[in-house]
């Protein structure tokens, strides 16, 4: 589904991603872990089409297409979803209008008729239950005045509506209490299907108690320095990132 080969990217001339290669297949959940400043969020931004990072080398192939040539909105319509670490507040734009516009863009892309207002509201109601999001929140402006946890739930709610093929969740667990964490993780698990995949970016192991990854990568200083099964996450939790540092220096 997604093949990243020797990807390098720089922000204001400074190389942040120093050659990343990675393959995600349909049905898989990959976790990318790593200390602060290792390039996790930059990788997510590059995949979603944010233009602050400049790709200097490498290729990213998504469903057989060159992902890096696609505009951000087209990546979304092709099935990529980025769950933001810091979801943006958009005063004056209602959640309903925002998601309805987005969904209908997706439908248009697939050659489907736009959803009627009543069908859309029905869909919203149905998806709301999945992430236990408060009805009041969806009638407000996008993320405006939401708490940290509500914002994250709202990301999963949007994901539930757009039903992406590849979800990239950028530190969705940061700033969540244990209940919110469980709800967010449940949402992700319930949306899992054999034909879609997810990349879960996280600093801590604890999210992986709820979302069980097939593959765990450790990103350090712009490179993937270790890849293994879910046991790697537990090992990392136990030994800390210092262990990775030592491991890298040894090699």
Partner 1 sequence: MNNLPERSDHYYALYEENIRKITENSAPFMNSFRKEAITKFRETGIPTRRDESYRYTNLDTFFNHDYKSYFIPEPSDFVKAEEFRCDVTDLDAYGIVLLNGFYPTINGKLRELPGGIWIGSLNEASAKFSDKIEKHYGRYLNGNSDGLVHLNTAMASDGVFVYVPEGAVLRRPVQVINLVESEADMFNQHRNLIIVEDNADFTIIICDHTLSPVKFLTNAVTEVFVGENARFDIMRVQNEHNNACKITHTFIHQERNSRVCSNNITLHGGLVRNSTHHYLGGAGTEANSYGLFLADKWQHIDNYVNVVHAFPGCASNQLFKGVLDEMATGAFNGRIYVHKDAQETVAYQRNNNILLTDDAKMYTKPQLEIYADNVKCSHGATVGRLNDEALFYMQSRGINKREALLMLMFGFAHEVIRNIKVEALQERMDNLVMQRLKGELSRCASCMVKCDKLF
Q: Point out which residues bind partner 1 (CB under 8 A).
A: 48-50, 71-73, 75-77, 81-82, 84, 87-93, 97-99, 101-103, 105-106, 109, 141-142, 158, 162
Can you read off the two tokens belonging to residue 114?
């736009």
The position carrying tokens 């990788």 is 43
CB nearer partner 1, residue 91 or residue 145: 91
Can you read off the two tokens belonging to residue 75?
């990546």
- Nearest approach in angstroms of CB 82 to partner 1 is 5
- The full DSSP string for 193-207 is -TT-EEEEEESSSGG
- Nearest approach in angstroms of CB 156 to partner 1 is 13
Task: Give the span between the Cα atoms of 95 and 170, in whole angstroms.
Answer: 21
For 235, other C-beta atoms within 10 Å of its C-beta total: 16
CB nearer partner 1, residue 83 or residue 213: 83
- Nearest approach in angstroms of CB 72 to partner 1 is 4
Task: Give the span between the Cα atoms of 164 and 158, in whole angstroms.
Answer: 10
Measured in degrees and rounded to the nearest 5, phi and psi for residue 4 equal: -110, 130
The position carrying tokens 């990675």 is 22
CB nearer partner 1, residue 157 or residue 220: 157
Buried b (16+ CB within 10 A) or exposed e, 182-195: ebbbbbbeebeeee
- Nearest approach in angstroms of CB 198 to partner 1 is 16
- Nearest approach in angstroms of CB 113 to partner 1 is 16
Can you read off the two tokens belonging to residue 73?
């909105």
Helices (H), 56-202: 72-77, 95-109, 117-131, 135-138, 148-162, 178-190
Can you read off the two tokens belonging to residue 157?
């709610």
- Nearest approach in angstroms of CB 44 to partner 1 is 10
CB nearer partner 1, residue 55 or residue 102: 102
Give the bridge partners for 226, in sequence order.
Answer: 218
CB nearer partner 1, residue 74 or residue 186: 74
CB nearer partner 1, residue 171 or residue 224: 171
């Amino acid at each position: 589904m997604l093949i990243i080969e020797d990807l390098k990217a720089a922000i204001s001339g400074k190389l942040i991603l120093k050659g990343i290669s990675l393959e995600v297949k349909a049905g898989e959940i990959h976790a990318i872990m790593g200390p602060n400043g290792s390039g996790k969020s930059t990788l997510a931004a590059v995949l979603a089409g944010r233009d602050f990072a400049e790709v200097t080398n490498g290729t990213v192939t998504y469903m057989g297409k060159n992902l890096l040539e696609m505009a951000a909105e087209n990546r979304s319509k092709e099935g990529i979803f980025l769950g933001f670490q810091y979801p943006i507040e958009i005063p004056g734009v209602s959640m309903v209008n925002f998601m309805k516009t987005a969904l209908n863009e997706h439908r248009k892309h697939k050659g489907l008729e736009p959803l009627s207002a009543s069908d859309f509201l029905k869909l919203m109601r149905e998806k709301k239950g999945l992430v236990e999001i408060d009805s009041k929140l969806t009638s407000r402006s996008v993320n405006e005045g939401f708490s940290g946890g509500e914002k994250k739930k709202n990301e999963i709610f949007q994901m539930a509506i757009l039903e992406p093929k590849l979800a990239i969740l950028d530190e969705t667990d940061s700033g969540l209490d244990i209940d919110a964490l469980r709800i967010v993780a449940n949402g992700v698990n319930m949306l899992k299907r054999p034909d879609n995949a997810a990349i879960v970016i996280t600093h801590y192991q604890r999210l992986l108690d709820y979302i069980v990854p097939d593959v765990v990568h450790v990103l350090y200083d712009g490179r993937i320095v270790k890849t293994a099964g879910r046991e790697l996450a537990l090992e990392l939790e136990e030994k800390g990132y210092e262990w990775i540092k030592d491991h890298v220096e040894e090699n």
